[in-house]
Structures are given as structure tokens and as C-alpha cells.
Structure 1
Amino acid sequence: EEKRQELLSSLSNAGVDLAQVPKEELENGDGEVLAALKQWHSYLERLQKTGNNKRVDEMDDLRSRIEAWRSDMAVQFRMAPASVMEEHAVVKIAYTVASMGVGVRVNKDALFAAGVRSGGLDALVATLVEWMDEKNKKNEVEGSGNNKTASGTGKVTKPMSFQTHTFKPSKSWEYAVYKPNKKTGLATWESSYNRFLAGEHAQTIAMTPANGRPIQVGTVVGHILDGLTHGREVDLKRLSSESTPPNEEEWDKLLMCESETGFDITGDPSTSGVDGGHFVMKDFLCPVMGNAFVMKDYTERSEEEKAEFSKWCGVLKWYMSLRRAGYIPSFDSQILV
């Protein structure tokens, strides 16, 4: 009861209209609406505590744009704003879209599958795409002086290409440990994997997870790639349209990281790190991020460094999973990076 009261009090103090929350959820202190609202405000609170004010402003701006679209649709269709889209759906979409990487586009069908039923769906997609383009363009300008990036170099490279849709490893990765949850009987990654296998878009899965609490698209992609390392089949071609895999230049740089650090990416994670310790992404990426970055505390990193590191972690997840699954990539169709 104490936790329930604390949750409701914190949401109320954050400006949430609890009258919009189903009575049953208010009584239980749990449910889809409360989970989504709690996730959103907890995320903003963490950003504020770490001094990431730029990200807070971006998130607030995105939410404001979605709410402006909702108001326009309410006027156009003569409906109450909450009938166009409820508040918890607004923050679910904002949280998911904000987590999407450069090169990944908002998928209209994914929004529809997540429950968006407004006649202004095309206008919503345009609103979200506009926000993403503006954010990415701003980040490119701010990070243009960083010569360590694999993007914005003016070089010609090739994207990863997939001749066949589905790839199934001959066996699971030697160090893949399957840990099913006692309640669900599934591993943490398995729900996302099963839904993707059934044809759902990663963005839909991120907005409508089983527990009602939205997750980042990158988390969903990570779950699907975890399935690959456990020997499950994955439609890599479809996944690559929802999450950008390493291009040829990035792949080569990750190979360089493996060579220069001496880390065995296919080995035991508990002993393949620095001095035989646990594998840590930051240490592995030292050759591309630089020693100065690795030595910094998280709170000392600039916004550009955080964005750059996040991008490299995304492509590293692909790299680790493909290497551990024994997949040999091919690259085709030159692109300018």
C-alpha cells in the first residue's frame, strides 16, 4: 500500500491527471497506463539527475509535438483529445521514437499495430519524422568536429546486405545461458523474439510489451539478436530494415577493436575483458572512442560523446551477435558516410 501511494503521489506531483487512470489500476497500483506513465517520468528523472538536460529538452519537445498533433486531430474530428490518443499512449510513442537510431524510420503500420487508430495517422508519422530529422541534423552539426566517428567522414562505404531472409545458426553460442522466468517460463529476450518471429515490427513490440511498460527499440532488437545467439532463426533482412546493422567501415573498425584490445568477442564474457575480467563494451570500444573517453566518468561525458558511444554500442550488439552465431557478413551498394 505504501508503494502504491508513493507511485500515485510522485505521478501527481509530476503533473499527471490521475482521473485519466483506470480506477482498477489506481486501486492496484499497477497496470498498463500506470506502467507507461511511471516509465516516462522515471526516465526523465534519471536524465535530470545525471545532468542530461539536452535530452530532457528533446523528450519534452517530442511529447509537445505529439500533443499538438493530438489537439489538431481533436479539432478536426470534433473529439476530445483523450479520445484521439490517451496520455499513456502519447508517452509510449515518445519514449519509443526517441530511442530509434539514425537511419531508422517511423513505421506507420507499427503505430497502427500498437493501437493508434486516429484518421490523422499520416500526419502523426510526419510529425515524428520531422522531430527525428531535426534532432539527427543537430547532432551531426554538433559532432562534426569528431574525427573518430564512422559517420560524417565523407568516405564511401557499403551497407551490410542480406541475400536470404532467414539465418539459423548451426548451434547456439557456447556461452549463451538460457534463464527462463519462473512466472512466464520464458527468458527475458524471448517474448520480443517470439513476437518478431510472428511478424510484429520492433517498434510495435517496444510500444506494447507484455508488462505494459514501454522499452527502447534497441532493447527489442537486442532481444531478437539474443535469440540468434541461442541458436534461433532470425529474419536478418527484415531486422536490418528496422535497425541499422554495421556498415563495412564500422565492421572493419570493430574488427580492429577486437585485434587491438585482444578481447575474444566469441569467448566467455566473464573472462574476455581487461586482464581476464568481465567483457565491458566501453573497454572494447576504446580504439574508436579514445582513451580519454574511457577514463571519463559518465557524468563528465559531453552530449556528443554520449550519442557517439550509444551509436557504437548499437552496432557492436549486431557485431557480437553475428560473430557469435558464426554469420559471415557481405556488403554491397556503396553509400556516402
Structure 2
Amino acid sequence: MLNNDLPGPTDLDSQVATFLAGSAEAFSGTYLVAINGALRLRGARGLANREFDVPNQPSTRFRIGSITKQFTAALILLLAEEKLIALDEPIGRFLPESNNVWRDVTLRMLLCHRSGIPSYTSLQDFLNEISKVERTPLEVVELVRELPLDFIPGSKALYSNSGYTLLGCVIEQVCAEAYAEVLASRLFEPLGMADTGYDDGLALIPSLASGYIHEDGRWLRAPHIAMSLPFAAGGLFSTVDDLARWHCALHEGPMLHPNSRRVMFADHGDGKGFGIMVKHGKPLIRFHGGGINGFLAAASRVIDENWTADVIVLSNNGNFDPTVKADPFNISNGLLALAVGNPVSAPGIVPFFD
């Protein structure tokens, strides 16, 4: 519940500083909380580049990992609205070279992780070998093409980055453009998201934070990842302001038809929507996390009876441990609670990374 006696800006800033101090130096990133569309909190902590002692600013750009999936899902829904594709069409229609075992998997199954196609990020040698080598999207697909399905398509849900790589391939084939170009022309430019884009690992991106890990009280550079691999499953960078803008467009704006929005936010099993996760209850929470070498991210829309909050936390500390106080979802919990005048243990945004 929204506390009627909300702290003023000065008092709130002091409370936030005390709360973030509890993470020691391990939280390094930016954050934003908006209540009913009005900015309530926006700030930064730590360093964007430790070699040159460059501080994070609210405008700093971060890799957002799997939050990218929301943009991929939205593009698929836009193409479906235009009758260029249908959600229940099989992937084999778009990629004839697909494995006969899973060529009848539908786009809908890919969108809500019910395809049974193994995730390439779960392959045994992914971290030490596969992740270091640049590959085209179809070469990434080739890593899992001959593997048996994890389960009968549609029978259950299991998170799969391979599914969103395939969706990116569909977008490129249908639009006859590169995935990055489709994103820019159909989403980023119309929505005024000037600080969001596709990171191919080669282009110089102004104000992009460097990625690190924090272990045993010291900072280390994050291990290298070939940025062609994340593609439509996790290849974007953004800022807290742009992601807040995206939340408004996704949930309330005219970008998607109401029917598309309804199916995107529906729970298709195990709390999985299209590029989004759903936690039922009071409040209702729609969220997604992102994890990519040196970066973690959390983006949540919290819907209570009398208010709606957007909470964005981006971090360039890639420690993958939800028990750590510096975890972006733990930071989200505390910041949102402070913003609505409640104890920092509320409202319980579920950690989720891949």
C-alpha cells in the first residue's frame, strides 16, 4: 500500500543512501523508480570504468542481457498484427533447414519458452569455449540443431535462449533487414529511445559502462563474451530512462494492439509471458532480468490496487548470486519500498536471471 506520508526528496535521498550503503561497494550501477508515471527516484552509484575512475551517471548505458527478449517479442507481435506472420505458424516455414525433430515448433512456443529446444547457453562448454567465438545467428542455431528436444513441444516450459535466437532469425527473414535495423526503425526511433541500441561488440558506444565482477573484496574485469552470440536473446544496451520509456510504451502506449498486449502479458505457464515474467498476487508484478558478462539488470512493473510503479536497476557488477545484497532485484525491492514509504523488505520482486 502507498503510504500517505511519503518522505520528501531530501529525506528520501538520505534513506536511499543508507540503504545502498548496505551493499558496501558491490552495487555499481543506476536506478530509477516512477510511481504512476511520475519520477520518484533516479540515481547512480559506483564506477562506469574503474581503470579511468569514471563514475556511473543516471545517463550511463549498460548491457541489459535478456531484457532484450521483450523487444524481440514486441517485434514478433507487430509482424503478426501486420499479418506477415502468425503466432501458431511453425518455425520450419521460416527456416526450412531446421531440424525435422523441431521444425513444427511454433513461434508462440518459442515466445513463452515452451518449445523444448535446448538453450545454447546451457551447453557444457558454453562458458569456457562457445561464448568466446563469434558466430552468425544461424551458426548459433547450429549448436543445438541436432540435439534431442528437452521435452515434447508445448508440454511444459523451460527457459531457452535458443528460442529467441530463432525468433531473431524470423524477424530478419520476414523484414529482409538486420535485426538491429528493424529494432531501430520500428521501436527505438518511434519511441524516442536514443540511448538504446544493439551492441555488436565492435562499434564504439559512448557512455557505455565497462563490465566487472566483484569477488573477495576486489574488482576484476568480466570474462570476455563474443557479442554476436546474445543476438535477439540478449544483445541490447540501454539506460534507466529509456527502459522506463519502454515500460510506458509497452504497457500503456499505442505501440501494440490491446490484444497483442494481452497475449504478451498472459501467463502461458510457470509465470512466463512473451519476453516477460509474471508474479501473481497483490501486487501483480511483470518483470524480467538480464545477465551477461559483467552486467546484471532488473526491470519491473509493479501493479497495486491504487498505484503502479516502474522500477529499473542496471548494474555493471556481473556477480551472479541472488543472495547478495547488491543483486539488482534486491536493490529494486528496497528502492521501491522506500519510494512508497514502506519497509525495505517489501514488496518482494522475484529474482530472475538467465
Under TM normalisation by the shorter chain, which class is it? Answer: under 0.3
Higher-Rg structure is 1
Using structure 1 for the length normalisation, give the TM-score: 0.28
* Structure with higher helix content: 1
